[in-house]
Amino acid sequence: MNSHIKVTFLGTGTSQGIPVIGSKHPVCLSEDSRDKRLRVSILIQWGDKTYIIDCGPDFRQQMLHSHVTKIDAVLITHEHSDHTAGLDDIRPFCFKQGEIPFYASKEVFAALKKRFGYIFETENKYPGAPTISQHIISKHSSFVLDQNTITPVEALHNTLPVLGFTMQGFTYLTDVKTMADSEIEKIKGTKNLVINALRQEPHPSHLNLEEALAFIEKVQPQRAYLTHISHLLGFHETVQATLPSHVFLAYDGLTIEI
């Protein structure tokens, strides 16, 4: 199905968000709304369907702010807390809709079962707990959501495998440090690329700005958006002025049409 896609950046910050609690760093004190970043997540409105990628600790706030009233599926990139800690806050959607489909790797589901055991309980489950259906995905095959085809793409976050997703000219990648050439081939020429750019200095598990720009050059999208940004990258306005004309710093609330 080739429906219109609208993407909203719900959060574009790294694991601590911006401002960092207690920080006096100039970026954390910035009054520019684009320098205030919740934990990373996006909303995908594809035709009449609504999908979320990652539900971190700011999930409830993000849902209220963006006026989301239904979720047709949640896609999880990996198990780290800044991408999954809001899992319990899907409850209002479950109460209205019933079971919410979750798409993630088997390793992610194993980690979630340890952290949120009560959600996955099969006997004597607490009646107020969320109810989700588990759909295991991997880099080896695409899957179909409501007649919409999505292809997982694997990267490494230091040594941890994470999944990104590519669909109808749009590719979302976060927490990437390295990616096999075979996976890059899946996304070459994508029209719209989202990729993480943590800071200016190198980092063991994230692309820095220089590495992210090199990655964009390799993939050759028409437009690229940087996300999973820390205060150490710099002021939004200052950094944006240094970027190539087709590369943009994403910010919370930014919407793009695919």
Looking at residue 250, what is its pLDDT? 98
Residue 3: per-residue pLDDT: 80
Q: What is the pLDDT of residue 220?
A: 97
pTM: predicted TM-score of the whole model, two decimal places: 0.97
The pLDDT of residue 124 is 87
CB within 8 A of 48, min separation 6: which ones? none
Once rounded to an integer, what is the mean pLDDT over residues 195-207? 98
Report how far apart, in Å, the C-alpha atoms of 229 and of each of 19, 26, 71, 202 are. 11, 15, 26, 13
The stretch 15-40 carries a mean pLDDT of 98
Give the pairing type, strands 247-249 and 223-227: parallel
Instruction: Tell me: pLDDT of 10 over 70.
Output: yes
Residue 229: what pLDDT?
98
Domains of the chain, CATH where assigned: 5-257 (3.60.15.10)
* Statement: residue 210 has pLDDT above 70: yes
What is the structure's pLDDT at 185?
97
Mean pLDDT, rounded, for 26-47 = 98
């019933």: which residue's tokens?
A: 98
Average pLDDT over residues 205-215: 98
Considering only CA atoms, which of 104, 100, 114, 102 is closest in space to residue 78? Answer: 104
Tokens of 105: 């790797």
Q: Quick one: pLDDT at residue 2? A: 58
Q: How does the average pLDDT of the chain come out, rounded?
A: 97
Three-state SS string across the chain, please?
Answer: CCCCEEEEEEECECCCCECCCCCCCCCCCCCCHHHCECECEEEEEECCEEEEECCCCCHHHHHHHCCCCCCCEEECCCCCHHHHCCHHHHHHHHHHHCCEEEEECHHHHHHHHHHCHHHHCCCCCCCCCCCEEEEECCCCCCEEECCEEEEEEEEEECCEEEEEEEECCEEECCCCCECCHHHHHHHCCCCEEEEECCCCCCCCCCCCHHHHHHHHHHHCCCEEEEECECHHHCCHHHHHCCCCCCEEECCCCCEEEC
Residue 59: its pLDDT value, please?
98
Q: Is the pLDDT of residue 1 over 60?
A: no
**Size of the chain, expressed as the number of residues it contains:** 258
What percent of the chain is modeled with pLDDT above 70?
Answer: 99
As a whole number, mean pLDDT of residues 179-199 equals 97
